[in-house]
């Protein structure tokens, strides 16, 4: 009986099963597909939580390594993406500890440039806006929103990112954070209010 070929249409459950198959080559190939499918979302999550691109990349790398080593513990009670998000969130918390330790010894600039895969440095991914002015405005808005997210207490920030940016359900978020759904909703409400207040202050004339 032939073994089904793995590709971008193979679902997560089958990919995880292939990772556990005992076939080293097939396992590696399956996990590569899992990484391709989820790395963008995990990087977005990590960056929104830690607020530092380089640290977010390290967080995601560590999270995938941890996930691969612990695939035997994945029972399928939740979606693989949800399980991976929990792992990434835990590593992001560790990343925040590292950042705070560094910042206690050095100054930090909100305008620090970001390293990209092609080796260039820029403050933000390029916008698709047609004009230079619109591009500058869009970049400024994104920076301000990220700045406002970083001003939130960590508990509120995590819930906001998981719900409004990652679009997880209240039940999933509660399971990830090990809190009741009511607590998730309360934190989310306060996080959204915090973002509104922050942006309102930013729009006030000097």
Q: What's the Cα-to-Cα distance from 159 to each of 62, 173, 188, rounded to whole Å? A: 22, 7, 6
List the domains of the chain with CATH numbers. 1-107 (1.10.1740.10), 126-206 (1.10.10.10)
Q: What is the pLDDT of residue 133?
A: 58
Rounded CA-CA distance 53/146 in Å is 12
Q: What is the pLDDT of residues 139-177, one digit of tens each?
A: 777 788 888 999 999 999 999 999 998 999 999 999 999
Rounded CA-CA distance 191/184 in Å is 10
If residue 18 lies in a helix (H) or strand (E), which one and from where to where?
Answer: helix 12-19
Confidence of residue 104 (pLDDT cuts 50, 70, 90): confident
Q: What's the Cα-to-Cα distance from 65 to each of 31, 50, 84, 99, rounded to whole Å? A: 10, 19, 11, 21
At residue 102, does pLDDT exceed 80? no
Q: What is the pLDDT of residues 66-96, one digit of tens each?
A: 999 999 899 888 899 999 999 999 999 998 8
Pair of tokens at residue 170: 């209240």
Least-confidence region, from 99-103, 131-135, 158-162: 131-135
């Amino acid at each position: 009986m032939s073994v089904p070929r793995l590709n971008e249409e193979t679902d997560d459950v089958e990919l995880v099963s292939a990772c556990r198959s005992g076939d080293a080559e097939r396992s590696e190939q399956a996990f590569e597909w899992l990484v391709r499918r989820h790395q963008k979302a995990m990087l977005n999550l990590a960056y929104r939580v830690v607020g530092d691109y380089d640290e977010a990349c390290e967080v995601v790398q560590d999270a995938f390594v941890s996930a691969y080593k612990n695939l035997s513990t994945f029972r399928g009670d939740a979606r693989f993406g949800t399980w991976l998000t929990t792992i990434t969130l835990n590593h992001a918390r560790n990343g925040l500890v590292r950042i705070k330790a560094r910042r206690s010894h050095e100054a930090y600039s909100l305008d620090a440039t970001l390293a990209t895969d092609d080796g260039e440095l820029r403050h933000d991914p390029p916008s698709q806006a047609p004009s230079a002015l619109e591009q500058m405005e869009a970049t400024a808005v994104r920076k301000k929103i990220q700045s406002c997210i970083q001003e939130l207490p960590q508990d509120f920030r995590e819930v906001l990112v998981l719900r409004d940016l990652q679009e997880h359900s209240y039940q999933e978020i509660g399971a990830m954070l090990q809190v009741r759904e009511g607590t998730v909703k309360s934190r989310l409400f306060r996080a959204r209010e915090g973002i509104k207040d922050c942006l309102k202050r930013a729009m006030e004339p000097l």
